[in-house]
Amino acid sequence: MSVIGILAIQGDFEAHSKALEHIGAHWRFVKKASDLAGLSGLILPGGESTTFLKILQAEAFFEAIRQFGDSHPVFGTCAGAILLAEKVENPPQLSLGLLHMTVRRNAYGRQLSSSVRVLDVAPEIQTGSEAGTPLEAILIRAPVIVEAASQVRTLARLDGHPVLVRQRSLLAATFHPELTSDTRVHRYFSQMISENS
């Protein structure tokens, strides 16, 4: 049985658990490095990426997640996408360096500038009961992907910019799919885990 871990040290991890429950996926919260054992995949939720870094480094958790991501599917949303990136701008910061992209933090403005937008989505995301309907994206102090390597596939765009990308078993969204009732992105990640098994 596949179990998806959700990093639960800060951020919107509860919303991810509800999305996974909605699609019938098995999950558990991850609060320390030893919690990674036995997982088939991991979600790095939104929150504050610099706070994530401080906690992960203080707990010697950072390297454990990097090693997990070398061999397991990992899905990062917003701050989680920043953590996955190879390079971070505005300002530069340490990251896991797993996904070959450059992200710029807070590119869409401050929290007061947060918005709901409709995305242009690749056909492989158009599954389930929501197929054919617009995919809404909630942007909260969202990063923008300013550059991605050729092996990084764009699955959704907003105003021409990639907002959902995949590199092998790594998935990153600069928006918050867990904050809507649309479960397409979580279902897609669950399928990635099945492919990796």
Angle between helices 62-71 and 49-58 (to 10 degrees): 100
Query: Which residues have CB under 8 Å from 44's CB, separation 6+?
Result: 7, 52, 65, 74, 75, 76, 77, 79, 80, 81, 83, 84
Catalytic positions, please? 78, 176, 178
Terminal alpha carbon distance of the chain: 10
Q: Residue 112: how many CB atoms within 10 A of its CB?
A: 6
Closest to 41 in 3D by CA, of 10, 89, 9, 4: 4
The dihedral sign for the CA sequence 163, 22, 96, 73: negative
